[in-house]
Amino acid sequence: MRNYRITTVWGIPIRVNISLLVFLPVLAWLIGSGAQIELYAGIVGGLVGTELDLARLQAGTTPWLVGTLAAVGLFVSVTLHELGHAWAAMRYDLEVESITLWILGGLASFKQMPREWNREFWIAVAGPITSILVGVVCYAGLFALPTSATVSLFVVGWLSVTNLVLAGFNMLPAFPMDGGRVLRALLARNRPYASATRIAARIGTFFAVLFAVFGVLSFSPILLLLALFIYAAATGESRTVALSDLLEGLTVGDVARPSALTIDAAASVEDLVDRMFADRSTEFTVTRGGEVVGVVTVADFRALSQAERAADTVGDLMETDLPRLDADMSAFDALVELDTARASAALVEGPDGVHVVSREDFSSAMEMRRLVGTGDPF
């Protein structure tokens, strides 16, 4: 979904997802509803030691004003929470690409997550610590406001309570929430990073199931959405870490295969079919004048009619918009590049010419790593 850049802090773009823009009026209505105002008016009144004027809070359009101020204040608090993560990451010279606010809160995107347990620990806890500090500042602010400022007292008190709840909720060990990342960091002190990630992801999946059950029982779409997010993010990161471990230390030049099976771009499709049967291969590197220019696979001509197969050349069918990668690029980064480009293969440029690397090559490399362990079979 589309994101809108609203400002920049410390060189970090702050973006708002369209889901938040749609959800904010709903959140304002929920906060400003009679039951919520009555509940939190009692809590805030207890904090300041005086009873808030409930009739004034519920009169006319005041509930809408209260709800809007509280909803906006909540996402300002979420932004500060994510900036806490960003500040801690920047202390370790890690690049923060952006902060995005969306329907479930905020996401700070890092160019690369640290694998050192102590760095991940402090980056993870920096967010909840920031929320606690914001909650304490809001609590102190209650005593600076006059008792007649009923709306301001309610909103500031609500933000104080909500920030403390936000900090506590985020510390649940539901990976990849902050508490789950803290758990992985602690597990990684005495076990491999991939193993720590798998354990944390399993616990995160368990929490996702719990949130889904409570979401169904309480008819809460937000809890259901949170459950889906945690499940997808936990399993996705676990898979990513496993891939990264299997490809660690390899460059894309190590993984790329020599261009042994080649076919000229001017060859007919019928010639290609004959070569595929003769060489028992479904994929060929395409050359023109001895230079690698693309890749052709069985899927490229499967839908062609007999007449088209006779008339077309390999050059008409081949994939040419393939990513071009340097042979020294890490294998994992190259695989990410393939996924980003949604390409089936890439051209690898090295000192000995241009080679081709496909998803099957990455699969073969990882399978070899599984069989021989962490040694280098290349």
> Is residue 81 marked as binding?
yes
Q: Which two tokens stand for residue 23?
A: 């959800």
Beta pairing partners, 348: 325, 355
CA distances 30 to 76, 135, 215, Å, are: 18, 21, 17
> Is residue 279 marked as binding?
no
CA dist 208 and 230 (Å) reads 6
Residue type, 367: E
CA distances 202 to 58, 177, 183, 209, 233, Å, are: 45, 13, 12, 11, 11
By CB atoms closer than 10 A (0-12, 13-18, 19+), residue 235 is middle
Look up residue 313 and give its DSSP letter.
B
CA dist 124 and 167 (Å) reads 11
Look up residue 127 and give its DSSP letter.
H
> Is residue 178 marked as binding?
yes
Q: Phi, psi at residue 338, to the nearest 5°?
A: -60, -45
**116 belongs to the catalytic site:** no
CA distances 307 to 180, 264, 274, 299, 303, Å, are: 59, 20, 16, 17, 12
Of the residues 38, 51, 82, 367, which is catalytic? 82
Nearest to residue 9, comparing CAs of 87, 69, 74?
A: 87
Work out whether the CA dihedral 235, 238, 244, 247 comes out positive or negative: negative
CA dist 225 and 185 (Å) reads 26
Q: Phi, psi at residue 59, to the nearest 5°?
A: -85, 135
Q: Which two tokens stand for residue 56?
A: 């004034």
Q: Phi, psi at residue 362, to the nearest 5°?
A: -65, -40
Structural element, H or E, at residue 17: strand 12-17
Known binding residues for Zn(2+): 81, 85, 178
Known binding residues: 81, 85, 178
Q: What amino acid positions are annotated as catalytic residues?
A: 82
